[in-house]
């Protein structure tokens, strides 16, 4: 519907030197063509965009201050830290070689071990375990939704790698980088999660 302007009200702003808009709250910005853009306050926009990882890392910081501890893995994380039942026990290296990914073995092993070491170091943190479980769940879901069908259809490695990067590595790394408390290399952390799930048989790179 067309925009109907309100009756103008005279307002006096004297002796003010302000950059940008002088409005006290939302500002209606008019383009040359007459379009109207509603500009929300910056703080509100940032709060609405806060990702689940940012909220969890903020909780982790509070948890550290309160010295809360656990004695084992939380249920949500146990799903991904145990090997899939009835799956032939094959190591990460062999899984990658079966899929023709020999060149990835060395780096993949190192990234997977980094994830495992971080999990062990944070064994007593319920919030960190929730962060890891959330990321693993997201990685697994994206792999099954956006990558698995390419493997089953016989796509080449380059197409599969592009899909992994576009749908898994890049978006989740960006979310982690928005968390001030996250001090790892986000891209490698997410890739490590992919290989960790591969090693535990939750992700397969060959045709099932």
Over its length of 208 residues, how does the chain's per-residue pLDDT go in tens digits? 444 444 444 444 445 454 444 444 444 444 444 444 444 444 434 444 557 767 766 765 665 565 555 444 556 666 667 654 445 557 899 999 999 999 999 999 999 999 999 888 887 788 888 888 899 999 999 999 999 999 999 999 999 999 999 999 999 999 999 888 788 899 999 999 999 999 988 999 998 7
What pLDDT score was predicted for residue 47?
Answer: 44
- 8 A C-beta contact, residue 190 and residue 173: yes
Q: What b-and-e string marks burial along 130-149, b requiring 16 or more CB atoms within 10 Å of the CB?
A: bbbbbbbebbbebbeeebbe
Question: Cα-flanking dihedrals φ and ψ of residue 158, to 5°?
Answer: -65, -45
Please give the Cα distance from 121 to 110 (Å, whole number).
16
Q: What angle is formed at CA 74 by the lines to CA 120 and CA 128, rounded to 5 degrees?
A: 55
Give the largest CA-CA distance in the chain: 78
- Helices then strands (H, E): number in the chain? 10, 2
- Please tell me whether the overall predicted TM-score, pTM, comes out greater than 0.75 for this model: no
pLDDT of residue 115: 92
Neighbours of 64 (CB within 10 A): 13
Specify whether the CB–CB gap between 138 and 172 falls below 8 A: yes
Q: Extract the tokens encoding 95.
A: 């899984």
8 Å CB contact between 190 and 169: yes
**pLDDT score, position 179:** 84
């Amino acid at each position: 519907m067309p925009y109907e302007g309100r009756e103008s009200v005279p307002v006096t702003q004297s002796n003010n030197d302000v950059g940008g808009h002088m409005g006290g709250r939302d500002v209606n910005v008019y383009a040359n063509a007459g379009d109207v853009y509603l500009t929300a306050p910056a703080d509100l926009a940032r709060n609405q965009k806060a990702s689940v990882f940012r909220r969890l890392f903020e909780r982790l910081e509070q948890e550290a201050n309160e010295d809360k501890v656990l004695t084992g893995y939380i249920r949500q994380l146990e799903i991904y830290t145990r090997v899939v039942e009835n799956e032939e026990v094959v190591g990460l290296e062999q899984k990658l070689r079966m899929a023709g990914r020999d060149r990835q073995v060395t780096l993949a092993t190192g990234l997977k071990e980094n994830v495992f070491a971080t999990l062990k170091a944070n064994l007593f943190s319920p919030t960190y375990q929730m962060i890891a479980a959330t990321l693993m769940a997201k990685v697994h879901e994206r792999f099954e939704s956006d990558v698995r069908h390419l493997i089953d259809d016989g796509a080449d490695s380059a197409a599969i790698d592009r899909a992994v990067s576009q749908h898994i590595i890049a978006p989740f790394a960006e979310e982690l980088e928005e968390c001030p408390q996250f001090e790892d290399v986000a891209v490698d952390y997410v890739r490590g999660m992919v290989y960790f799930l591969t090693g535990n048989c939750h992700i397969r790179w060959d045709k099932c």
